[in-house]
Amino acid sequence: MKKTLLICFCVVGFCLQAQTYSEKDFKQTVAQVNTAKTESEYETIFQKFSTFTSSKPSEKWEAYYYAALSAYLKAELQLKKTPSADVSNVSALAGKYAKGGLSDSKSNNAESDILFGLIALQKAQIKGAKDVKSNMDIASQMIAKAEAVTPENPRLAILKAKLAEMSGNKESAEKLFKKALTGLETKSTSSSAPSWGRQLIPSMN
């Protein structure tokens, strides 16, 4: 009996340790989003979050969200290097994971909507894109949804800046990027709130 109990305690202890390690690994991977500089780094981060979508025991939307984000940022980096690059497959992958996160009832809808809007603008930016207007309309819809919930969100300011930029309003875009940077420099009261965004501000790159 004592031997059986000992085995049970060992198994429970091992499971708790594994869960703690998984959460620690998840948080470390989230932090890597802000330090990644290369396509291969974003790809590695994406692969980790892709795995987390099935292994994370709760708040699965976060895994989908960051998987979508890492794919989106990888495509953004490719476009920055080569504006004519065909990133349609990577952008579509980002959209797929973003939708996966939105299906979770516990998702942070404002942050997910903002990311979905950014992905839509990215798709509109791809050379030869045929659905530019519809994707810009999607971005506008996501702005309206997020603004109703979190109007001072710095990533919302980035989305609005990118839409203004694509619409030819460079002055408005510049002001919005500055607003976003100010917002990102203010530490959020929520430890789980996303902190990325500087990668998309021209003055920071």
pLDDT in tens, 34-83: 999 999 999 999 999 999 998 888 888 999 999 999 999 999 999 999 99
- The pTM (predicted TM-score) of the whole model is 0.86
pLDDT at 11 over 50: no
Percent of the chain with pLDDT over 90: 72
Comparing C-alpha atoms, which of 53, 54, 48 is closest to residue 30?
A: 48
pLDDT at 1: 47
Q: Where are the domains of the chain?
A: 2-204
Q: Closest Cα partner for 74 from 36, 112, 111?
A: 36
What integer is the mean pLDDT of 88-115?
A: 88
The CB density around residue 91, as the number of other CB atoms within 10 Å, is 25
CA angle 109–111–114, rounded 5-degree value? 105
2-204 falls under which CATH superfamily?
Answer: Tetratricopeptide repeat domain (1.25.40.10)
Residue 122: pLDDT over 80: yes
